[in-house]
């Protein structure tokens, strides 16, 4: 299930604590964190842009796609938008037509291209899922039914739904304990990560949490 994310054109304006937008899913988290990437005319990736807070307390660097409009010093003009994922994957290029953009704000005129990048990243996460270890259909169905039952319970008794979720959490930790140890013994962190759709570091952390050992060992 994906975490609801703001549209690719959303983003706090400069001067309002700018935040670079990213996309994640519940299952893969930071292992597959996506965002709109920028390429310049020469094919290079621009450096983040520094914004002074004006208060004397420093500022921040920002790489949100719409700031690369070429209309201020040290802000080069974007030629292409593409989806970028923390796993190293990059999506197809979506060129920006500056003859059409003209004097329009890039955050508005480039919205279609930015939205296309998010669609590309969504497809990337589907492809990631296809490469992970498959679950038996019966297990997938049971998990789906359990989720539906707890959601129904939440409508009549929210606190009972919390109790059910807590029981589910306890059960997950208990039943995953020895499988986590076996996986650690049988697979490298890289192999486990590939099977789970996670980075090696995230796979090590997950196995350590289920197996009850320190992730630093």
Q: What's the pLDDT band for 10 if we cut at 50, 70, 90?
A: very low
Same domain (yes/no): 42, 108? yes
Same domain (yes/no): 125, 60? yes
- Where is the domain boundary, 85, 101, 131? 131
Same domain (yes/no): 37, 94? yes
Shortest CA distance to 193 belongs to which of 121, 123, 122, 88?
88
Same domain (yes/no): 117, 152? no
- Classify residue 14: in a domain, yes or no: no
Same domain (yes/no): 91, 57? yes
Contact (Cβ atoms closer than 8 angstroms) between residue 118 and residue 184 = no
> In this predicted model, which residue has the larger pLDDT, 58 or 169?
169
Same domain (yes/no): 110, 204? no
Same domain (yes/no): 95, 112? yes
171 DSSP 8-state letter? H
Same domain (yes/no): 85, 116? yes
Task: Output the pLDDT for position 198.
Answer: 98
The CA distance from 88 to 104, in Å, is 32
Q: Which domain holds residue 165?
A: 137-211
Same domain (yes/no): 112, 160? no
Answer positive or negative: Cα dihedral of 51, 55, 56, 58: negative
- Where is the domain boundary, 91, 108, 131? 131
Task: Output the pLDDT for position 74.
Answer: 82
The CA distance from 8 to 81, in Å, is 11
Task: Output the pLDDT for position 50.
Answer: 82
Contact (Cβ atoms closer than 8 angstroms) between residue 96 and residue 80 = yes
Total domains in the chain come to 2
Same domain (yes/no): 125, 184? no
Q: What's the pLDDT band for 107 if we cut at 50, 70, 90?
A: very high
**Percentage of residues of the chain with pLDDT beyond 70:** 87
Q: In the predicted model, is pLDDT for residue 39 greater than 80?
A: yes
- Where is the domain boundary, 131, 159, 175? 131
> How confident is the model over 19-28, as pLDDT tens digits?
578 999 999 9
Q: What's the pLDDT band for 207 if we cut at 50, 70, 90?
A: very high
Provide the strand spans (E) within 10-79.
Answer: 34-39, 49-52, 59-62, 69-72, 75-77
The CA distance from 197 to 177, in Å, is 20
Shortest CA distance to 27 belongs to which of 122, 173, 148, 129?
129
Task: Output the pLDDT for position 8.
Answer: 44
- Classify residue 160: in a domain, yes or no: yes
> How confident is the model over 134-152, as pLDDT tens digits?
999 999 999 999 999 999 9
The Cβ of residue 211 has, within 10 Å, a number of other Cβ atoms equal to 18
Task: Output the pLDDT for position 216.
Answer: 78
Same domain (yes/no): 46, 103? yes
Mean pLDDT of the chain: 89
């Amino acid at each position: 299930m994906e975490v609801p994310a703001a549209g690719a054109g959303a983003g706090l304006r400069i001067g309002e604590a700018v935040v670079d937008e990213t996309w994640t899913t519940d299952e893969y988290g930071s292992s597959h964190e996506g965002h709109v990437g920028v390429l310049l005319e020469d094919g290079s990736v621009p450096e983040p842009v520094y914004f002074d807070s004006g208060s004397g307390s420093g500022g921040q660097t920002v790489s949100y796609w719409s700031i690369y409009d070429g209309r201020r010093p040290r802000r080069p003009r974007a030629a292409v938008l593409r989806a970028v994922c923390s796993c190293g994957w990059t999506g197809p290029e979506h060129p920006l037509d500056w003859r059409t953009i003209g004097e329009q704000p890039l955050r508005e005129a480039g919205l279609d291209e930015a939205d296309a990048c998010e669609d590309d990243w969504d497809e990337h996460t589907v492809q990631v899922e296809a490469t992970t270890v498959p679950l038996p259909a019966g297990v997938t169905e049971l998990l789906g039914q359990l989720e539906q039952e707890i959601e129904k319970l939440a409508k009549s008794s929210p606190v009972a739904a919390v109790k059910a979720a807590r029981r589910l959490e306890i059960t997950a930790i208990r039943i995953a304990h020895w499988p986590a140890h076996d996986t650690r013994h049988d697979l490298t962190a890289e192999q486990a990560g590939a099977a789970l759709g996670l980075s090696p570091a995230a796979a090590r952390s997950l196995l350590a949490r289920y197996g009850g050992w320190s992730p630093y060992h």
